[in-house]
Amino acid sequence: NAGVTQTPKFQVLKTGQSMTLQCAQDMNHEYMSWYRQDPGMGLRLIHYSVGAGITDQGEVPNGYNVSRSTTEDFPLRLLSAAPSQTSVYFCASRSRGQQFFGPGTRLTVL
Amino acid sequence: QQQVKQSPQSLIVQKGGISIINCAYENTAFDYFPWYQQFPGKGPALLIAIRPDVSEKKEGRFTISFNKSAKQFSLHIMDSQPGDSATYFCAASRLKGVASGSRLTFGEGTQLTVNP
């Protein structure tokens, strides 16, 4: 199993650009989540999904969209990037309470 | 509102010493308390977790102590090694409920350095 995979590893955007962070898991987990990690703030939940076709907002959803068309994939879309979205983004999937995190995407918005 | 507060922000210990990281939570509905270990450039990985029906859980050199009445829990790393140098996060969630288990609330993190 590859576990949770994320692409790209690094990305630089200009303010106002849009992009999609990809996340995929091959463990057939129903639950998937997106977090952002900022220094001194731990990880904060952006959006999560309890299964294909079902998503909900977390703590910090503004500026981000998600969709879940398949069990495997859970992409995160930035519609109009802002410098405040500079962060490291982690995707996770969950099984029986244990969350498995991907390696992260480091995003810089200039 | 930070529902899980973690301290200290950074910790330096000598090899062989005991590392102690503390967390306090506010939401009494939380019923699952994991600790994650994160190395630079990697995602967090589950280290050890506890449910509130026990006061202590030990796995190797890692022990969680849980105080339900005080709403506090802590991670103890015995015989700390340089390889334990990493960032540690406590977290809390509700396992009951359809979506609750996906909603981990994290502490701010502790940067642990173990000197040789």
Distance (Å) of CA B10 to CA A110, B6, B111: 30, 10, 5
Helix, strand or coil, per DSSP, at residue A105:
strand
d(Cα A25, Cα A6) in Å, to the nearest integer?
9
The distance of B110 to chain A (nearest Cα, Å) reads: 9
pLDDT band at A66 (very low <50, low <70, confident <90, very high): very high
Mean pLDDT of chain B: 92
Place of tokens 């700390």: B80
What confidence score (pLDDT) does residue B115 get? 96
Nearest to B102 among A42, A43, A94 (CB): A94
The distance of A15 to chain B (nearest Cα, Å) reads: 25
What confidence score (pLDDT) does residue B95 get? 74
CA end-to-end span of chain A, whole Å? Answer: 36
pLDDT band at A5 (very low <50, low <70, confident <90, very high): very high
pLDDT digits (tens, 9 = 90+) for B48-67: 999 988 999 999 999 999 99
Distance (Å) of CA B96 to CA A37, B101, B103: 26, 7, 11
Centre a 10 Å sphere on the Cβ of residue B85 and count the other Cβ atoms it contains. Answer: 18
> Does residue A46 sit at the B interface (CB-CB below 8 Å)?
no
d(Cα B50, Cα B72) in Å, to the nearest integer?
12
Average pLDDT score over residue span A22-51:
93
Mean pLDDT of chain A: 94
Sign of CA dihedral A39, A22, B39, B24: positive
What confidence score (pLDDT) does residue A41 get? 84
Whether B1 shows a pLDDT value over 70: the answer reads no
Whether A40 shows a pLDDT value over 90: the answer reads no
* CB spacing of B102 vs A42 below 8 angstroms: no
Alpha carbon A106 to its chain's center: 11
CB contacts, 8 Å: A34 with chain B: none
> Does residue B22 sit at the A interface (CB-CB below 8 Å)?
no
